[in-house]
Amino acid sequence: MAVELLTGSGVTYVDTEVPAGTINGANAVFTLANAPSPAASLQLYLNGVLQRPGGVDYTLSGLTITYVTAPLTGETHVCWYRR
């Protein structure tokens, strides 16, 4: 379950969100509950390893994360970002 924290500056941080979608080795597309703002604030971890944006490990478009290589069954991912 994601945790949202509101700071005094009005910035909301989303912690430990698990992107929605099936991890099965074929699906590479996952959805966030909110769009990261700025997009560069997204920190996405697959099996505890920070993933690189910009098409190296994944791309982000609005709410949609697309991995370059679909995560395998049994792998886990979690993210943190500002919105």
pLDDT tens-place values along the chain, 83 residues long: 676 766 667 789 999 999 999 999 999 999 999 999 999 999 999 999 999 999 999 999 999 999 999 999 999 999 999 99
- Total number of domains constituting the chain: 1
In terms of residue numbers, what domain contains 59? 3-82
Half-sphere exposure of 53 (CA within 13 A, CB side): 12
pTM score, two decimals? 0.91
Asked if residues 61 and 27 have their Cβ atoms less than 8 Å apart, the reply is no
Q: Which residues pair with 58 in a beta bridge?
A: 67
Q: Which two tokens stand for residue 21?
A: 């979608």
d(CA 78, CA 32): 10
Q: Which two tokens stand for residue 42?
A: 């997204």
Q: Which two tokens stand for residue 2?
A: 């994601």
Tens digit of each residue's pLDDT (9 = 90 or more) over 55-74? 999 999 999 999 999 999 99
